[in-house]
Amino acid sequence: MIAQAAFFIVARQTSSAAAGAAARDAARSGSDPEDVASELADRIAQTVPGAVDPVVGVASDGRTVTATVRFGWRPPGPDLVPLRVDVRAEVPVVRPP
């Protein structure tokens, strides 16, 4: 159980960092939120072992960009309890001077 908790913390932190990076990428002028969301889904699949059916989103309201990640997580080893990871990152839109 302790190992599963440690793996969960790593999975959550990794997905949180990926969401933050995606939000910052999408906040730059000229970026395409759909491309950033696709890259975010790929990043989750590559860096979070045990992520199942990731759902990602990148949206902007003109002032801020929000990146969200949601997935079921099946850790390496015995599947003791079903877990779901939900993370969100929000950053201001970057505008050139």
Q: Is residue 83 part of a domain?
A: yes
Asked, for residue 10, whether it belongs to a domain, the answer is yes
Domain ranges, residue 73: 2-92
Predicted pLDDT at 82: 74
The tally of domains found in the chain comes to 1
Cβ-contact 48, 74 below 8 angstroms:
no
Are 28 and 49 a contacting pair, CB within 8 Å? Answer: no
Q: Helices 33-47 and 2-27 meet at what angle, rounded to 10?
A: 160
Mean pLDDT of each 10-residue bin along the chain, 97 residues long: 80 94 92 93 91 94 95 78 90 85
Q: Which residues contact 1 (CB under 8 A, 6 or more apart)?
A: 80
Nearest to 24 by CA among 70, 60, 56, 69: 60
pTM of the model: 0.88
